[in-house]
């Protein structure tokens, strides 16, 4: 398919997604259907969805091939994947009763927005949109607390925003679209205080890109018995399995029980056996994850330095994407970059225009920077 058609398709999808988004086309997920490479002579640089460009762990590819002849079966009829929850629980030091497997973590966020919908939701702005947008769509009032001047969650202001009607609080850490973090100690005390009043969902989709001690998960609070702290994780990012749709919730067994009652199939139905088998294999390959993390860090450093040389001021990135202000760019940056065969996200915030670009391979980021040299901002 020629690039022109792909561009038009993507624009259309993005425009549709933007209708339901406060942060235009930034983060809903699910609106990117384009292949990274379209063939030898036509190529779109897809830096729009924070995907892992290094592909599945070799064992995960084999795991899919191994089960290909069971694709006619529901996962609960495929013996090879019955140990998935057990293995996942062992990986995170929890019990199987602490886990709810979902078709990607987006589905978990959707479920949580619906489950805790009796009162208002407190979230940051801007933030990853699935949970707050789902809440808005079903009539939940959302208190959107602006990030602070450094584009970090303003936990103090979020705490203050919690009132008698708050039933749910959402914190994305590391944050999308800004790629900033709050330190574990601060987040822990926030969760401890806020969870006295409401359920707190901590979205840790990008936590595996962090170094110690920043990579401390809020799972420890769940294990302490806090029923109101809910951790959401995904295989889409460091495991490079975005297309396979495996995510999960870690929460107190009572919380999981109550969430499961609202989730028609639980893990036995919603995620396919091929995806589960790939996830099982990927869990056994920490070297692949370490290699993705290390290559991402190198390409990220190159990109940030190059953007700085071009006069842009990216904010420090802790993930596989970079957020930077567009200076005085006039026009629709994402649309204009698409004309140059680059897919990324741009948005208009109260303090101006911003761009979010995913960190691809070093080659891809070199191509991106070459194109950025032609941008007048
Ligand atoms: C912060 C965050 N949470 C959740 C998701 C959803 O990922 P998935 O549904 O692929 O697990 C994304 C996707 O980009 C994300 O950025």
DSSP string for 306-334: HHHHTT--PPP--SSEEEEE-TT--S-HH
Q: What is the pLDDT of residue 19?
A: 33
Whether the Cβ atoms of residue 358 and residue 236 lie closer than 8 Å to each other: no
Domain assignment of residue 226, yes or no: yes
Average confidence (pLDDT) over 8-16: 52
* d(CA 29, ligand 1 centre) in Å: 7
Whether the Cβ atoms of residue 345 and residue 338 lie closer than 8 Å to each other: no
Q: What is the pLDDT of residue 239?
A: 98
Q: Is 155 in the pocket of ligand 1 (CB under 6 A)?
A: no
276 plus 292 within the same structural domain: no
* d(CA 206, ligand 1 centre) in Å: 9
Protein residue closest via CA to atom 2 of ligand 1: 205
91 plus 180 within the same structural domain: yes
Q: What is the pLDDT of residue 7?
A: 58
Backbone angles phi, psi at 248, to 5 degrees: -160, 160
Domain assignment of residue 257, yes or no: yes
Instruction: Measure the CA–CA gap between 345 and 47, rounded to whole angstroms.
Output: 8
Q: What is the β-pairing status of strands 229-234 and 199-203?
A: parallel
357 plus 307 within the same structural domain: yes
Domain assignment of residue 50, yes or no: no
Q: Is 242 in the pocket of ligand 1 (CB under 6 A)?
A: yes
Q: Domain boundary at 252, 283, 314, which?
A: 283
Helices (H), 150-272: 155-161, 184-194, 219-223, 253-260
131 plus 62 within the same structural domain: yes
Q: What is the pLDDT of residue 1?
A: 45
279 plus 290 within the same structural domain: no
322 plus 302 within the same structural domain: yes
Say how many domains are in the chain: 2
> What is the side-by-side order of every strand in the sheet holding 345-349?
321-325, 352-358, 345-349
Q: What is the pLDDT of residue 25?
A: 39
Q: Domain boundary at 253, 283, 313, which?
A: 283
Q: What residues contact 192, with CB distance under 8 A and at least 6 apart?
A: 221, 226
Cα angle value 141/232/117 (rounded, 5°)? 25
Protein residue closest via CA to atom 6 of ligand 1: 106
Domain assignment of residue 93, yes or no: yes
Protein residue closest via CA to atom 5 of ligand 1: 106
Q: Which atom of ligand 1 is nearest to the CA of 106?
A: 9
163 plus 236 within the same structural domain: yes
Task: Output the average pLDDT for the chain.
Answer: 90
Q: Which pair of structure tokens corresponds to residue 71?
A: 């694709």
Q: Domain boundary at 268, 283, 298, which?
A: 283
Range 91-99 contact pairs with CB under 8 angstroms and sequence separation of 24 or more: 91/283, 92/219, 92/250, 93/219, 93/223, 94/219, 94/222, 94/223, 94/250, 95/253, 97/253, 97/256, 97/257, 98/222, 98/250, 98/251, 98/252, 98/253, 98/256, 99/248, 99/249, 99/250, 99/256, 99/267
Q: Is 106 in the pocket of ligand 1 (CB under 6 A)?
A: yes
Q: What is the pLDDT of residue 43?
A: 76
Backbone angles phi, psi at 231, to 5 degrees: -110, 135
Domain assignment of residue 49, yes or no: no
278 plus 163 within the same structural domain: yes
Q: Of 40, 50, 46, whose CA–CA distance to 7 is shortest?
A: 46
- Tell me which H or E stretch contains 9: helix 3-19
Cα-based distances in Å from 35 to 31, 60, 156, 268:
12, 20, 42, 29
* d(CA 239, ligand 1 centre) in Å: 13
Owning domain of residue 321: 3-43+286-372
Domain assignment of residue 196, yes or no: yes
- Tell me which H or E stretch contains 31: none
166 plus 309 within the same structural domain: no
Q: Which atom of ligand 1 is nearest to the CA of 107?
A: 9
Q: Which residue has the tokens 């901002």?
A: 377
Instruction: Measure the CA–CA gap between 302 and 155, rounded to whole angstroms.
Output: 31
Backbone angles phi, psi at 147, to 5 degrees: -60, 160
Whether the Cβ atoms of residue 133 and residue 28 lie closer than 8 Å to each other: yes
Q: How do residues 95-113 score in pLDDT, each as one tens digit?
A: 999 999 999 999 999 999 9
Q: How do residues 157-179 score in pLDDT, each as one tens digit?
A: 999 999 999 999 999 999 999 99
Q: Which atom of ligand 1 is nearest to the CA of 236?
A: 10
Whether the Cβ atoms of residue 114 and residue 134 lie closer than 8 Å to each other: yes
Domain assignment of residue 361, yes or no: yes
Backbone angles phi, psi at 13, to 5 degrees: -60, -40
Q: Is 360 in the pocket of ligand 1 (CB under 6 A)?
A: no
Q: Which pair of structure tokens corresponds to residue 74?
A: 């529901």
Whether this prediction's pTM lies above 0.85 is answered by yes
The CATH number of the domain where 182 resides is what? Answer: 3.40.640.10
Q: Of 118, 165, 160, whose CA–CA distance to 140 is shortest?
A: 118
212 plus 354 within the same structural domain: no
Instruction: Measure the CA–CA gap between 340 and 307, rounded to whole angstroms.
Output: 17
194 plus 260 within the same structural domain: yes
Q: How do residues 229-243 score in pLDDT, each as one tens digit?
A: 999 999 999 999 999
Q: What residues contact 230, with CB distance under 8 A and at least 6 apart?
A: 112, 199, 200, 201, 202, 222, 249, 250, 251, 255
Domain assignment of residue 213, yes or no: yes
The CATH number of the domain where 290 resides is what? Answer: 3.90.1150.10
Instruction: Measure the CA–CA gap between 140 and 275, rounded to whole angstroms.
Output: 33
The mean-pLDDT minimum among 50-54, 238-242, 264-268, 283-287 falls in: 264-268
131 plus 249 within the same structural domain: yes
């Amino acid at each position: 398919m020629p690039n022109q058609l792909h561009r038009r398709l993507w624009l259309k999808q993005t425009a549709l997604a933007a209708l339901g988004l406060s942060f235009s086309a930034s983060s809903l997920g699910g609106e990117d259907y384009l292949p990274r490479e379209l063939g030898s002579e036509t190529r779109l640089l897809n830096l729009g969805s924070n995907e892992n460009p290094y592909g599945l762990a070799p064992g995960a590819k084999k795991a899919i091939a191994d089960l290909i002849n069971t694709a006619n079966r529901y996962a609960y009829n495929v013996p090879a994947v019955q140990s998935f929850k057990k293995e996942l629980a062992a990986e995170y030091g929890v019990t199987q009763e602490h886990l709810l497997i979902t078709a990607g973590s987006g589905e978990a966020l959707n479920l949580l927005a619906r489950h805790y919908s009796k009162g208002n939701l407190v979230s940051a702005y801007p933030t990853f949109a699935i949970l707050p947008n789902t809440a808005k769509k079903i009539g939940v009032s959302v208190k959107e607390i602006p990030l602070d001047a450094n584009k970090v969650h303003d936990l103090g202001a979020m705490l203050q925003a919690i009132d008698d009607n708050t039933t749910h609080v959402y914190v994305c850490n590391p944050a999308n679209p800004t790629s900033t973090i709050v330190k574990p100690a601060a987040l822990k005390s926030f969760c401890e205080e806020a969870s006295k009043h409401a359920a707190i969902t901590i979205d840790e989709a990008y936590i595996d890109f962090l170094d110690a001690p920043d990579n401390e998960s809020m799972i420890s609070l769940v294990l302490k018995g806090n029923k109101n702290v809910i951790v959401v994780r995904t295989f889409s990012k460091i495991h490079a399995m975005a297309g396979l749709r495996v995510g999960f919730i870690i929460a107190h067994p009572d919380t999981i029980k109550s969430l499961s009652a609202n989730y028609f199939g639980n893990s036995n139905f919603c995620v396919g056996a091929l995806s589960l088998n790939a996830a099982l294999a990927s869990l056994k390959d920490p070297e692949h994850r370490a290699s993705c993390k290390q290559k991402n860090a190198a390409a990220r450093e190159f990109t940030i330095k190059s953007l700085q040389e071009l006069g842009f001021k990216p904010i420090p990135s802790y993930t596989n994407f970079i957020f930077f202000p567009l200076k005085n760019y006039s026009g629709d940056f994402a649309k204009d970059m698409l004309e140059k065969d680059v897919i990324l996200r741009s948005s208009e915030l109260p303090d101006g225009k911003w761009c979010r670009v995913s960190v691809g391979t070093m080659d891809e980021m070199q191509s991106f920077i070459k194109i950025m040299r032609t941008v007048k901002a």
